Structure 1
Amino acid sequence: MLKINDEEIVILSRMFGLPTDMTEAGLALKRQYALQEVILTCGTQGSYVFHDRGISFLHTPQVEVADTVGAGDSFTAGFCASLLRGCPIPEAHARAVAVSAYVCSQHGAMPRLPEELLQDRAPELG
């Protein structure tokens, strides 16, 4: 699994001669390096998970941003925790987006998560 953001993928694309389109670059990374998943986060522009069954894209929910420190780490933690619980990729993706959005709405990188984000089922994105 590779988790990368929209700034990092531009650098990797230049370094490894990948396509300049971010989604094409994500797919190329997955193929060329035999990765099970490539996760591409694009801030307010949404996020992608490239996996064996296709591509999952989710919009980023609008929140009042207090602090973006920890956004990527919380996304990755939410995604991995969901996979470890046996959730399918679309559900893991939804939880990752919800956890990251919540963290961005709080001050500090490690706020206490509300119970709804800790449940076995991913929260519905509004």
Structure 2
Amino acid sequence: MIVVFGSINIDLVTPVERLPGPGETVLGPGYALHPGGKGANQALAARRAGADVVLVGAVGRDGFGDAALTLLAADGVDLAHVLRVALPTGAAFIATDREGANQIVVAAGANAAARPDALERMKLEPRDILLLQREVPEEACLAAARAMKRAGGRVILNLAPAGAPAAALLEALDLLIVNEHEAMVLAQALGWSEQEPEAVARRLDGERRLATVATLGAEGLVAWIGGARHRLAAPEVEVVDTVAAGDSFAGAFAAALAAGKAMPAALREGLAAGSLACTRPGAQPSIPHAAEIAPLAAALADAPVSPG
């Protein structure tokens, strides 16, 4: 089982010719309303990849709350531990340009009230995985991580949005997922001179025994896990937008680990899912299913694992 503790949002997405600079207004032709939030996206991605998934989070008692849960419910994510609170449902305001790049502003709303208490009531097992992000309060993430560690399970943090997690949270992790910007921000917070994602991943794995996957966009990924290097090139796809690509990677990767697959296979499935998400607009509507992920993952070549 995968337990996702994280944010649940409604996304308002508008296409633009180019992304605005500071103080600039750029007009778009219209907008679409999609369910989103990094926690919800990753829960849906893990479920569509074949895992049993429980989502723990919070939404408001408003119409957006119902809309934010629609696809999760339809795909069979367990929503019994999603709270309804007297705050507006979280929202993300997303602009995407014709190259697929995006700018995102997130209003936390009900996500600020997310509580990890449900993990204390669950019958967690050593084979379970907790998947975390950074759109809910960090102290709540830490409490959730400690609950999973007491049960003997694994804890994965996707360091998104970028920021410096507390030392206690880093120490509670089994695996960290970062993109290029997130790796740089973390290195700066730790007082390290490294700038390249691979150098940061290698040092985290070597010095802190924290297995780290760095996603590199169109360049694929590199991971340092237990002193071994894994490098995968991304498949060539026609990019529509990159919204939820990272979430699709995290969810499918965690689902593969929960299914007992070896690390190289899990990395391939995560990369395939993230790449497929780039070929469709929106967040949750773009997240692929297992039947799509499997053939693309099988076609990816894993460079030989090399020792550190």
TM-score scaled by structure 1?
0.86
> Residue 30 of structure 1: CA displacement?
2.0
Deviates more, 1:110-119 or 1:52-61: 110-119
Q: Which residue of the other structure, out of 244, 251, 272, is the alignment partner of 1:98?
A: 272
- What aligned pairs does 1:1-126 form with structure 2 within 5 A after superposition? 1-18=175-192, 19-35=194-210, 37-52=211-226, 54-110=228-284, 111=286, 113-114=288-289, 115-117=291-293, 122-125=297-300
> Residue 106 of structure 1: CA displacement?
0.9
Counterpart of 2:298, as a letter, is P
Contact 1:80 1:92 in 2 (8 A): yes
Counterpart of 1:8, as a letter, is E
What SS does the aligned partner of 2:252 have? helix
> Residue 118 of structure 1: CA displacement?
5.7
Deviates more, 1:2-11 or 1:12-21: 12-21
> Residue 28 of structure 1: CA displacement?
1.1
**Gap change, CA 1:118 and 1:23, over 3 Å in 2:** closer
Deviates more, 1:84-93 or 1:11-20: 11-20
Counterpart of 2:300, as a letter, is L
Listed one character per residue, the Cα deviations across residues 1-35 of structure 1 (whole Å, up to 9, x for unaligned) are: 11000011111222212223332211111233332
Listed one character per residue, the Cα deviations across residues 57-109 of structure 1 (whole Å, up to 9, x for unaligned) are: 11111111111110111101111100111111111111111110000101111
Q: State the distance in 2 between where 1:53 and 1:32 align.
A: 10
Q: State the distance in 1 between where 2:235 and 2:185 align.
A: 26
**Gap change, CA 1:44 and 1:118, over 3 Å in 2:** closer
What SS does the aligned partner of 2:185 have? helix
The structure with the largest helix share of the pair is: 1
**Gap change, CA 1:30 and 1:112, over 3 Å in 2:** closer
Q: State the distance in 1 between where 2:197 and 2:240 align.
A: 27
TM-score scaled by structure 2?
0.37
**Identity of counterpart residues, as a percentage?**
29
Structure 1, gaps ≥5 residues long: none
Contact 1:116 1:123 in 2 (8 A): no
Counterpart of 1:117, as a letter, is I
Q: State the distance in 1 between where 2:269 and 2:196 align.
A: 26
What SS does the aligned partner of 2:299 have? coil
Q: State the distance in 2 between where 1:11 and 1:81 align.
A: 27
Q: State the distance in 1 between where 2:228 and 2:294 align.
A: 26
Q: State the distance in 2 between where 1:7 and 1:104 align.
A: 19
**Gap change, CA 1:112 and 1:62, over 3 Å in 2:** same
4+ long deviations beyond 4 Å? none
Q: Report how many residues are paired.
A: 123
The structure with the largest strand share of the pair is: 2
Higher radius of gyration, 1 or 2: 2
Contact 1:95 1:117 in 2 (8 A): yes
